[in-house]
Structure 1
Amino acid sequence: MREIKPKKRINPAMIIAGVIVVALLAMTPFIVEQIEPGQVGVVYKPSSGVQDETLSQGWHVVSPITRVTEYPIRTQTKSLDNMTLATKDGKNIVVDFTYSFAVSPDQVTKVFNKFGPIEIDEIADGYLKQRLYDASREQISKVTVLELFGEESGNVSTSIQTQFAEDVKKIGFIIEDVALGAPKPDEKTQEAIDSRVKASQELDKKKTDLAIAKAEAERLRVEAQGEADARLIEAQGLAKAQKELQKTLTAEMIQYEAVKKWDGKSPLVSGSGSMVQLPLPDQETEKK
């Protein structure tokens, strides 16, 4: 007869442990939340609402009834094309904008409380777009179209960014940069701008030509003054030399110089008072 071996009893503790492991694995998607880099998690509990404390990037264990909404806090860039605005002088222009923004990590809950659990892109395409439009409309209405195309372009862009940033920072957005594209005017406005630019270029050319003429005239004046100064210095030197020479011309010096130059012959002209004897060379020769 075959020997019948007794069956091994299954340890109840092992069964319970296995059930717990399976239950935990099944519940993992509901109690573990992963926050991606560059994001923060806003925690909402049915019992107490939105929590002030947010979840940083990484893995977190949360209650199964807790909801977590991720908000990006990294810088994002958005473009808005063909925004129609009016200038101070009533000219309509079309402008493109590019701006960079981020959600302040310390104010993420403000954003959530205002907009709810919606994507940040929806907020940018709605709320932020409207705030940028309002700031642009107000600032561009302060300048004429020619000023916008000229010296005021940079100031207008800065003013738009300042107003836009101040408007949205109170609810948790940080505006880092606003770039104003080249305005696109209508045909008549473009003709007026072209005429203004041409006139400005012609004026600049005239100013340049005048500056060149003045520089050339100044160069000639300096040269003439230099030559006059040189002649004056030369004349002053000659006069000084003559003055010094006159001081040395005594009667003895004049007689000495005359003796040095005498050739031993009697002078052709001699006399004193009103009597002048003027011997002729032929007579002197006949006497000899």
Structure 2
Amino acid sequence: MNRNIPGKTLALLAGVAIVAFAAVMLLRVGTVESGNVGVLTRWGVAADSALVAGTYRLGFGESIVLFDTRVQRLDYQGSAASKDLQDVIGVISLNFRVDAADVPTIFTTIGTDYRQRVIEPAVQETFKATMAQFTSTELITQRDAVKRVSRELLAERLGRFGIAVEELNVLDFRFSEEFKNAIESANAAKQAVVEEEQKLRSAQIQAQQRVAVAKAEAEATLARAEAEASANKTIQATLTPEVLEYLALVKWDGKLPQSTNGSVPFVNLGAR
């Protein structure tokens, strides 16, 4: 009878282990924290709907895969060619989020590494496609248009996978040293042209001022001459013989000239 004791003990221990294992499996739970959704899998196969924040009892062979649905940031730096074939190095900052309703599809078709498999390649393609639409000068002067085109292209690419673009910012553009030197030379030439144009305008203004002064002086001289001529004409019209005799009489001191050459001056005093 003692020989059966070890066998019974082993059977008892096995039964206890089975019960304990079953109890553990029945008591297994999974938690989905706020800002995440979960995908319930049974033996690796995903369920059709996502799990919202909460605690869930897990059955045998079940587990929960978490997806962050909060806004996330991805910074990208890459190089591309502009429309005028200049080498451009750009820095882009992308804010994105995963659509909770599309999480099961993302898990099934892409997996949890969607950043590396979808988002980063899409950002790279968008950057190159956008740079090809603008010249190097336009990339600098039309930042808003560059941002708008980039965002539209990226939103279209990522939207197919249930990933929404919240914000996209173009942080910086850098060009080759040759291009920067060419820009500096062009700016210096433009500045020189501006300075010469300013000098020319200044000279033109001074010349116009001199012309205006000369014209004013000529008009003043003409006006004085016309006034004098008009005055002389008026005086001449008023100097009748009677007036001239009167003026001579007024100026005469009453003395006759010492030499008359045989004639005596006569002043007509007028008939009474």
Q: TM-score, normalised by structure 2?
A: 0.62
**Equivalent residue number for residue 7 of structure 1:** none
Q: Report deviation, 1:217.
A: 1.4
Q: Report deviation, 1:177.
A: 1.6
Q: Report deviation, 1:88.
A: 4.4
Secondary structure at the aligned position of 1:183 is classed as strand
Matches within 5 A, 1:240-255: 240=227, 242-243=229-230, 246-247=233-234, 249-251=237-239, 255=244
Q: Does 2:44 align with 1:50?
A: no
Q: Does 2:157 align with 1:167?
A: yes
* Structure 1 residues 202 and 78: CA distance shift in structure 2, 3 A: same
* Structure 1 residues 94 and 192: CA distance shift in structure 2, 3 A: closer
Matches within 5 A, 1:203-214: 203-214=190-201
Amino acid at match of 1:71: D
**Equivalent residue number for residue 191 of structure 1:** 178
Secondary structure at the aligned position of 2:173 is classed as coil
Amino acid at match of 1:67: I
Matches within 5 A, 1:86-235: 86-88=81-83, 93=87, 95-103=89-97, 107-116=99-108, 122-143=113-134, 146-147=136-137, 151=141, 155-170=145-160, 171-185=162-176, 190-191=177-178, 193-233=180-220, 235=222
Number of aligned positions between the proteins:
231
Q: CA RMSD in A?
A: 4.4
Query: Is the CA contact 1:30–1:63 (under 8 Å) kept in the aligned structure 2?
Result: yes
* Structure 1 residues 255 and 155: CA distance shift in structure 2, 3 A: same
Q: TM-score, normalised by structure 1?
A: 0.59
* Structure 1 residues 138 and 34: CA distance shift in structure 2, 3 A: closer
CA distance in 2, matches of 1:256, 1:125: 124
Gaps of 5+ in 1: 1-22, 280-288
Deviations 1:177-224 (A, max 9, x none): 231523243xxxx33541353144223312321232123312331342
Secondary structure at the aligned position of 2:181 is classed as helix
Deviations 1:16-47 (A, max 9, x none): xxxxxxx9xx95x726x4533xx142454769
Query: Is the CA contact 1:135–1:163 (under 8 Å) kept in the aligned structure 2?
Result: yes
Aligned-pair identity in percent equals 9
Q: Report deviation, 1:156.
A: 4.0
Amino acid at match of 1:161: R
